[in-house]
Amino acid sequence: MTDRKYLAFDLEIAREIPEGGDWRANSPLGISCAATLASDTGDLVTWHGLRPNGEPSGQMSREEARAMAQALIAMVDAGYTLVTWNGLAFDFPVLAEESGLDSECQGLAANHVDMMFHLFCVKGYRLSLNAGAKGMGLAGKTPGMTGADAPKLWAEGKYRQVLDYLAQDVRTTLDLTLASEQRRALLWTSQRGNPMELGLPRGWLTVQGAVKLPEPDTSWMTNPPRRGEFTAWLSDF
C-alpha cells in the first residue's frame, strides 16, 4: 500500500463542446462544479458557483475559482498528493484560466499525479479513465453519461445529476489510484481485446517525475501525440 495521502480532483466545465473536441479552441469554458475526495478520511468536498438565493449558478466566478485553487494548495501544504486522470492537459489549465492563478495552478499541475500522463509517457498513447477502471475490476464511470453531457444538464438545472456524476468520477479516480498502487500495476484491455499492463514498481509518478522517463517507441503510430501537447502551458517544461 502507498504511504501517500491522496486527494482525487476533477472538475466539470460550464460550456458545451463536442465530445473529444479541442477545448482550447472553445475557451473560456467556465467551471460549473468540481470535487475532491481524500484517501485517508473519505471526505468528499464539492464546489460550485452560488447565486444570491443560495442556488447553484451557471458557473463559478473568478473569486470562487480562486478560492478553490487556494483550497487545493492548502491541502497540498497539509501533506496530500493531488491525483487526476488527464488533469495536466485539462483540469489544471482550465482552473488556471478561470482563477487567474497561472503560476499557482502550474505548480499544482507539475507536482501532482496525473495517471493518464504517466501512462502516456511510458506507452505513447492515451487511455480513458473508464478503460483503466474496468481493467482493474472497478465499477467505473456513471453509465449512460459522459463529461460532454454535464454542461447541458447543468444549464438545465439538473445539478444533482451532474454532482452525482462528478462524485463518481473522483471516486473512480481515487479507487483506481489505490488499486493499481497496491497491485504495482495498472491493467486494461486493448481495443483488440489484448491484456495490457503498466508496471508501477515505484508507484505513480508525479508529472515532474513522469516527464523524465525515456520517450517510448511510437514509430508504429501514424501521428503519435507528443508530451508537449500536455506540458506546453507549463512555463518550466
Q: Judging by beta carbons within 10 Å of its beta carbon (0-12, 13-18, 19+), is residue 129 exposed, middle or buried?
A: buried
pLDDT in tens, the chain (237 residues): 468 999 999 999 999 886 666 777 777 899 999 999 999 999 999 999 999 998 999 999 999 999 999 999 999 999 999 999 999 999 999 999 999 999 999 999 999 999 999 999 999 999 999 999 999 999 999 998 888 899 999 999 999 999 999 999 999 999 999 999 999 999 999 989 999 999 999 999 999 999 999 999 999 889 899 999 999 999 876
Q: Which domain holds residue 87?
A: 5-231
- Extended strands (E) in 40-95: 44-48, 80-84
Cell of 43: 471526505
Domain annotation covers residue 198? yes
Domain annotation covers residue 196? yes
Residue 44 main-chain phi, psi, to 5 deg = -100, 125
Q: What angle do CA 124, 206, 190 make, to 5 degrees?
A: 35
We report the CATH number of the domain holding residue 182 as 3.30.420.10
Strand partners, 84: 114
How does 131-167 read in b/e, with b if 16+ C-beta sit within 10 Å?
bbbbbbebebbbeeeebebbbebbeeeeeebbbebbb
Q: How many whole angstroms separate alpha carbon 35 and alpha carbon 163?
A: 9
Domain count, the chain: 1
Domain annotation covers residue 180? yes
What's the predicted TM-score (pTM) here?
0.95
Domain annotation covers residue 236? no
Q: How many whole angstroms separate alpha carbon 60 and alpha carbon 115?
A: 26
